[in-house]
Chains A and B, each alone.
Chain A
Amino acid sequence: MLHIICALKPESRPLQEHFELRPLPGAASIYQNPEARLTLTLSGIGKSAAAAAVARTRDHFRAGRSHAWLNLGIAGHASLPLGQAAVINKVTDAASGKTWYPSLVFTTTLPARDLLTLDQPDNDYREELFDMECAGFFQAANECATLELVQALKIISDNADQSMDRINPDLVSRLVTQNLPVIEEVIEQLLALSELQQRLNDPGPDYHVIIRHRHFTVSQGHKLQSSLRKWRALYPGDTGLADRLAGMKTAADILRLLQDELAKTPIRFNK
């Protein structure tokens, strides 16, 4: 699952339309697509608002470490042209000096840029991107997820020649719309990484079937997960294990049987 955090409605509107993100009943400013793979939360302006939006989204979706997060919005830069999109490889909070280095493990045609998060709007254009949310976003999202799954994508909305006074909602939506192909590319790659992590962390369908009608202590639960992980490694195509264990009544019986079977299984790297 991927959670997008946007500050402004004009930033989010093209995304809502393109990705069919619909408002979630009972969750103000949170949107979700029909497949429930993608969500969008409107944060409002500023790093505290961005951090709060991450927390709200995390709580609403009980987001685990395998969920991906993307801060998407506009930014200023001295010379980059309006509409130029970039991924971010260093974020600095101007107020505290704190830095984050998002780990870009996917391939993108977008340039990677440094970004400075300011507390107030500023007309002093510089050689790094600047915005008002990204540091708050990273501060909060890095607490929720694996670092590689927390990214930012910014679109230049103003520069030294075309200052922020000219920014209006239509312009912002137009800039986001014209970048939808690259935004989609980044989203798809982050979703793929998130789903890989989800698969690796998931104890598997057998685990849930096995524990549904039997009592496992916490320690037995860990042993079961470990045994099932080994089982899946040794029998990757086997989907009938839970059925074969259906007649066994206790956790101890199941763990013993799995252990015995695993001990008998030959180790072969090339199946």
Chain B
Amino acid sequence: MIDQIYIEDAVIEHPRARAILQKFPHATVTQCARYGEIFNRRAQNFRLQKIKPALILAEKFTNHVLPSPPEYAIGGEQNYYFSHMLNCIYDCRYCFLQGMYQSAHYVVFVNYEDFFDAISDKVRAAGDASVHFFSGYDCDSLALDPVTGFVEEFLPVFRGHPGALLELRTKSTQIRSLLAQEPMPNCIIAYSFTPAEIAHAIEHKTPAVSKRLQALQRLQAHGWQIGLRFDPLIYQEGVKEQYKTLFEQVFRRVDTELLHSVSLGSFRLPKSYYQKLSRLYPEEVLFASPLEETGDGMVSYRENIRDDLLSFCRDALLCYIPEHKFFPCEPSPPFQRKQERQHAL
């Protein structure tokens, strides 16, 4: 799976880095001073690198925990996200990471303890305010868990902060570590879905919708709280019927009493990301869709299509869930631009 590993000189002896290296005994290991030498080089081609991405083991010095996009919010007064990893093993054609990063290589920051400290600092600073943390913004939270040990390492931090809520966003069926643990009332496993026809066409390398549903059901049976994320909503001919079928499929399996939240958001990208993606994948039907600039630096579906689909899905979902569990996502371009700056070295 991974033939090439780059490792920063500073973490070559780090126990977590050593443990990850041991999982890939046949990989070529190359030392580097800083991961940015590889990850942030200009003139890289995301599409070509996605054929055979390398793994980069690095240390993150600052910004371990950042304010999260407002549209991620599911009721918390203070919302943060953190990324122990950059990039994703899946290849969803709508994913903004393809527009944000120069490289398709996976970066894993092995200094988890600095993340733990930053999380604890935010919890303490929040005082009595409800504080939510999101993982899965710059990567899939669970997809590489057998390699990174993310669940086993990060969940105990939140066991120590029962007032703070953690959302793990994923499409993965790598749930072994979660099933091996006592479920936590302050942790939600949030699964992203699009209808099977769309997932099959544009969510490359992801588990099928049916497999995600099986995983979700097993987690719920074990006692974990579940979230459902229909974000981004993707448009094609006959899409309403397809979303209707998806909701039927999902809610046949999900115990809505134990469901934490459901969110919904339209497909949208910063214009510069859209331009990059449509150049990388000129043959992609998604980028030939009826998209338009929304006037705030974003590209999304034409207003009538966007609003019609959002409204249809909202009404359909509210047949299954109470309104207090429903969180529509609103795009927030200033946040996106801020993230671009923060991710640039």
Partners in one complex: yes
What mask results when residues 279 to 305 of chain B are scored 1 for a CB within 8 Å of chain A, else 0?
110111111111000000000000000
One of B157-165, B196-204, B222-230, B316-324 contacting the partner: B196-204
What mask results when residues 224 to 261 of chain A are scored 1 for a CB within 8 Å of chain B, else 0?
00100111111010000000000000000000000000
Quick one: given A106-B52, A147-B43, are A267 and B288 in contact (CB under 8 Å)?
yes
CB closest residue in chain B, given A228: B282
Quick one: given A101-B6, A267-B237, A268-B285, are A197 and B45 in contact (CB under 8 Å)?
yes
Decide if A99 touches B32 in the complex (CB within 8 Å).
yes
Determine whether A164 belongs to the interface, using a CB cutoff of 8 Å to chain B: no
- Complex-state Cα separation, A190 to B260, whole angstroms: 49
Decide if B290 touches A263 in the complex (CB within 8 Å).
yes
Determine whether B44 belongs to the interface, using a CB cutoff of 8 Å to chain A: yes
Determine whether A152 belongs to the interface, using a CB cutoff of 8 Å to chain B: no
Decide if B45 touches A112 in the complex (CB within 8 Å).
no
CB closest residue in chain B, given A196: B48
Determine whether B54 belongs to the interface, using a CB cutoff of 8 Å to chain A: yes
Determine whether B49 belongs to the interface, using a CB cutoff of 8 Å to chain A: yes
Determine whether B236 belongs to the interface, using a CB cutoff of 8 Å to chain A: yes
Quick one: given A233-B287, A268-B237, A269-B198, are A146 and B32 in contact (CB under 8 Å)?
no
Given the complex, which residues of A lie within 8 Å of B105, measured CB to CB? Answer: 103
Determine whether B130 belongs to the interface, using a CB cutoff of 8 Å to chain A: no
CB closest residue in chain A, given B54: A103
Determine whether A56 belongs to the interface, using a CB cutoff of 8 Å to chain B: no
Q: How far is the CB of B92 from chain A (nearest CB, A)?
A: 13
Majority DSSP secondary structure for residues of A touching B: mixed
Which A residues between 99 and 130 are near B, CB-CB below 8 angstroms? 99, 101, 103-107, 111-112, 114
Quick one: given A233-B284, A268-B236, are A107 and B30 in contact (CB under 8 Å)?
no
Given the complex, which residues of A lie within 8 Å of B286, measured CB to CB? Answer: 269
Which of A114, A197, A262 makes the CB contact (< 8 A) with B30? A114
- Complex-state Cα separation, A266 to B236, whole angstroms: 7
- Complex-state Cα separation, A74 to B51, whole angstroms: 29
- Complex-state Cα separation, A65 to B32, whole angstroms: 26
Q: How far is the CB of B301 from chain A (nearest CB, A)?
A: 10
Given the complex, which residues of B lie within 8 Å of A232, measured CB to CB? Answer: 282-283
CB closest residue in chain A, given B199: A269
Decide if B202 touches A233 in the complex (CB within 8 Å).
no
Decide if A233 touches B43 in the complex (CB within 8 Å).
no
Decide if B237 touches A148 in the complex (CB within 8 Å).
no
Determine whether B182 belongs to the interface, using a CB cutoff of 8 Å to chain A: no
3 tightest Cβ-Cβ pairs between the two chains A and B:
A269-B201, A230-B288, A233-B288
Give residues in B with beta carbon < 8 Å to A: 3-4, 6, 28, 30-32, 37-38, 41, 43-45, 47-49, 51-52, 54, 105, 197-198, 200-202, 235-237, 278-280, 282-290
Q: List 25 A-B contacts (CB under 8 A).
A: A90-B30, A101-B32, A101-B41, A103-B48, A103-B49, A104-B3, A104-B4, A105-B51, A111-B28, A148-B45, A148-B48, A200-B283, A229-B287, A232-B283, A233-B282, A233-B285, A233-B288, A234-B285, A234-B288, A263-B290, A266-B237, A267-B285, A268-B236, A269-B201, A269-B286
